[in-house]
Amino acid sequence: MLKMEKVNKVYRTDMVETHALNSFDLEVKSSEFVSVMGPSGCGKTTFLNIAGLLDTFDAGHYSLDGADVSRLSDGQMSRIRNEKIGF
Decide if pLDDT at 87 tops 80: no
| pLDDT band (50, 70, 90) for residue 53 | very high
Name residue 5's beta-bridge partners.
Answer: 61
Instruction: Supply the pLDDT for residue 47.
Output: 97
Structural domains in the chain plus CATH codes: 2-84 (3.40.50.300)
Apex 82 CA angle, 44 and 76, nearest 5: 95
Decide if pLDDT at 2 tops 80: yes
Find the mean pLDDT for residues 18-42.
Answer: 95
Task: Give the number of C-alpha atoms closer than 13 A to the C-alpha of residue 10, restricted to the C-beta side.
Answer: 9
Q: Please tell me what DSSP assigns to residue 71.
A: G
Instruction: Supply the pLDDT for residue 60.
Output: 98
Q: What is the CA radius of gyration of the chain?
A: 13
